[in-house]
Structure 1
Amino acid sequence: MKIFLVSNMYPSGTDPDYGIFVKNFKENFESLHGVSFVESVIKGRTKGLLSKILSYSSLLLSVIKNYLKGNYDIIYIHFISHTAPAFFLPLLFCPNKKPIIVNVHGADVIKYNKGLYKFFNDFLLKKSSFLVAPSNYFKQICINEFPFLPKDSIFVNPSGGIDSLKFSPKFLGKKNYKIVNLGFVSRIEEDKGWKDFIDVIQFLLKKGYKVKAIMAGTGSQVNELNKIIKENNLKQNIDYKGLVNHDKLVEIYQELDLFIFSSNRISESLGLVGLEAMACGIPVIAYDMAGPKTYIINQSNGYLVSPGNSSKIANSVINYLNLNVEDKLEMQRKAILTAKNFDSISVSEKLYEKVKSSIAS
Structure 2
Amino acid sequence: MKIVLLAPASSIHTQKWADGLVERGHEVVVATQHPATSWPGPDGPRVLVLPFRGQHGYFLNAPILRRQLRAHRPDILNVHYASGYGTTAALSGYTPSLLSVWGSDVFDFPRGSRLKARLLRFNLNAATRLASTSNVMARHTQSLLPGAAAPFVTPFGVETGRFAPSQHKAPSQGVVIGMVKALYPKYGVDVLIRAFAQVVEAADDQRDIRLLVVGDGPERAELEALAQQLGLSGVVEFRGALPHRDVPEILRSLDIFVASSRLDSESFGVAVVEASACGLPVVVTDVAGLSEVVEDGVTGYVVPRDDPGALALAVLSLVDDPRERDRMGSAGRATVEARYDWQRCLDTMVDAYQSTIDAAGRGHRASGEG
CA distance, structure 2, for counterparts of residue 90 and residue 34 of structure 1: 23
Compute the RMSD of aligned alpha carbons: 2.3
3-state SS in 1 of match to 2:33: strand
Which of 35, 42, 50 lines up with 2:34 in the alignment? Answer: 42
1:200-243 Cα deviation digits (max 9, x unpaired): 21111222464211111122212212222334442321111111
Q: Which residue of 1 aligns with 2:66?
A: 67
1:108 matches 2:122: no
Q: What TM-score does the superposition give when structure 1 sets the normalisation length?
A: 0.86
3-state SS in 1 of match to 2:31: strand
1:33-69 Cα deviation digits (max 9, x unpaired): 3232141231369xxxxxxx94344454444212223
Kindly indicate whether the alpha-carbon contact (under 8 Å) linking 2:62 and 2:91 is maintained by their aligned counterparts in 1: no
Q: Which residue of 2 aligns with 1:189?
A: 184
1:345 partner letter? Q
**Corresponding residue pairs, total:** 336
Which of 159, 165, 183 lines up with 1:163 in the alignment? Answer: 159
2:333 partner letter? I
Q: What TM-score does the superposition give when structure 2 sets the normalisation length?
A: 0.84
Q: Which residue of 1 aligns with 2:88?
A: 86
1:169-215 Cα deviation digits (max 9, x unpaired): 00499975x42210111111111010011012111122246421111
Kindly indicate whether the alpha-carbon contact (under 8 Å) linking 2:158 and 2:342 is maintained by their aligned counterparts in 1: yes
Q: Give 1:355 shift.
A: 0.2
List gaps (5 residues or longer) in structure 2: 38-51, 362-370
Which of 328, 331, 348 lines up with 2:328 in the alignment? Answer: 331
CA distance, structure 2, for counterparts of residue 335 and residue 38 of structure 1: 33
For residues 191-210 of structure 1, what are the structure 2 equivalents within 5 Å?
191-208=186-203, 210=208
Change (3 A) 1:356 1:278: same
3-state SS in 2 of match to 1:75: strand
Q: Give 1:89 shift.
A: 4.1
List gaps (5 residues or longer) in structure 1: 12-18, 46-52
Kindly indicate whether the alpha-carbon contact (under 8 Å) linking 1:192 and 1:264 is maintained by their aligned counterparts in 2: yes
Provide the identity percentage. Answer: 22
1:264 matches 2:256: no
Q: Give 1:343 shift.
A: 0.9
1:24 matches 2:16: yes
1:305 matches 2:300: no
3-state SS in 2 of match to 1:5: strand
Q: Which residue of 1 aligns with 2:45?
A: none
1:348 matches 2:346: yes
CA distance, structure 2, for counterparts of residue 175 and residue 318 of structure 1: 20
1:229-275 Cα deviation digits (max 9, x unpaired): 33444232111111111110111110111100101122311110000
3-state SS in 2 of match to 1:260: strand
Change (3 A) 1:324 1:212: closer
Kindly indicate whether the alpha-carbon contact (under 8 Å) linking 1:188 and 1:221 is maintained by their aligned counterparts in 2: yes
Q: Give 1:143 shift.
A: 2.3
